[in-house]
Structure 1
Amino acid sequence: MELSARVESIIQGYAQGYFLMADDQGQLGWYASQSHALIPLDHRFRYPKSLRRVLNQSRFSLAINRDFVGVCRGCAGRESTWISPALLEIYQLLHQFGWAHSFEAWAGDRLAGGILGISIGGVFIGESMFYTVPEASKAAMVMLVQRLRQRGFVLFDAQLQNPHLERFGAYVIDEAHYQRLLAQSLLLPRTFV
């Protein structure tokens, strides 16, 4: 399959609400969820007061796509991960075609943390996040939400809910509601970079 056709096929999967994930044997497959976690881009977004102090101290500088591969590796670098080598290759391919992005927190010249995601229309799909310096990925999350607001995005899909995301106001909606929001958001002509 030609590269551009392969990329288009993958983007169509995400645009239908599916996501790629490797199983325990490293086999890639498309998955769907009956519920979706969303990070609010309105007044419901929140973060701990302790993080406000970190942001006010300017401990981190933020960058987009400065070290995309480093963010991918950071997200995959766990004892148990759903990001296989094959999925890393897909993310890099999507990045080459302008679909996948890294939003990064830097401590001096060191990559301290980041968020990996896919941008389609007015939707940002957060695939994973990591940190090597405490608070780095949280600072990146706050700044990412600000960027998505500035760029007119309306849907920040975090896919699966967890206690960490709940601290930022993440909430869960059912599949039918998600599909309606997704369809509307995909039509918006937005750019991440």
Structure 2
Amino acid sequence: MELIPPQILLGAYSEGVFPMAEDGELQWFSPVMRGLIPLDESFHIPRGLRKTLRKEPYEVRFDSAFEEVMLGCAEREETWIDKVIVDSYTELFRLGFAHSVECWDEGGLQGGLYGVQYEGAFFGESMFSRKTDASKVALVHLVERLRAEGVQLLDTQWMTEHLTQFGGREVPRDEYLQLLAEAIGPPVTELNIPS
């Protein structure tokens, strides 16, 4: 497989399903408990991170190095981001459905995150840091952007200890699917995607 067709990817997200590569094979997931980060006032910025944000150690950019962010996220001993995943999401980016948030300094790209945006939902895929707090700074800027755009749902797939400090929580699949439907409407069955 060269890449997952955009219609298949977006259709899967609209039904609460997402892909990951495991041992060279594509697997599809719909967790029983889904991680969410709030976009309302319950979003929490830890005190230490507030200090970092005031110092502005990074220049934050959006969508200036999408594939580089994906490759940064894949720089770990075990990764689910293979060439098919990179190529598939890079195509979604080209079509305007995937986005990256990047933290730069004089040394280059130091961290960031990427995900898929469809209608009123943003599906966070992965984040990475090469320097202190870089991915966290990117997340704060993502939340600010999503709020400004009126996005209703920030999905993190699974909840981690790293994300609970921002007010992240888990919801059962049924509740997630209801929130998803409110954010994007009915599941995608057919898309008019420009070639």
The two structures have a TM-score, normalised by structure 2, of: 0.91
Is the contact between residue 112 and residue 132 of structure 1 (CA under 8 Å) also seen in structure 2? yes
Aligned equivalent of 1:69: 67
Q: Which runs of 5+ in 1 are unaligned?
A: 189-193
Q: 1:157 is matched with which residue: 155, 159, 174?
A: 155
Q: How many residues align?
A: 185
Helix, strand or coil at the partner of 1:111 = strand
Helix, strand or coil at the partner of 1:82 = coil
Aligned equivalent of 2:21: 22
Aligned equivalent of 1:13: 12
**Where does 1:68-87 land on structure 2 (aligned, <5 Å)?**
68-87=66-85
Q: 2:165 is matched with which residue: 151, 158, 167?
A: 167
CA RMSD of aligned residues (A): 1.7
Question: Quick check: 100-109 or 44-53, which moved more?
Answer: 100-109
Aligned equivalent of 2:189: none
Aligned equivalent of 1:134: 132
Is the contact between residue 116 and residue 125 of structure 2 (CA under 8 Å) also seen in structure 1? yes
Q: How far apart are the structure 2 equivalents of 1:140 and 1:16? A: 27
Helix, strand or coil at the partner of 2:81 = coil
Q: How far apart are the structure 1 equivalents of 2:46 and 2:118? A: 29
Helix, strand or coil at the partner of 2:76 = coil
1:106 aligns with 2:110: no
Q: Deviations over 1:6-56 (max 9, x none)?
A: 211211011110011011x12112111111010000111112111111110
Seq. identity, %: 38
Structure 1 runs of 4+ aligned residues shifted over 2 Å read: none
1:45 aligns with 2:56: no
Residue 28 of structure 2 aligns with an amino acid whose one-letter code is: W
Q: How far apart are the structure 2 equivalents of 1:10 and 1:48? A: 34
Helix, strand or coil at the partner of 1:148 = helix
Helix, strand or coil at the partner of 1:47 = coil
Residue 80 of structure 1 aligns with an amino acid whose one-letter code is: E
Q: Which runs of 5+ in 2 are unaligned?
A: 187-195
The CA deviation at 1:187 is 3.5
The two structures have a TM-score, normalised by structure 1, of: 0.91
Q: Deviations over 1:146-186 (max 9, x none)?
A: 11111100100001011000111100000111111101101
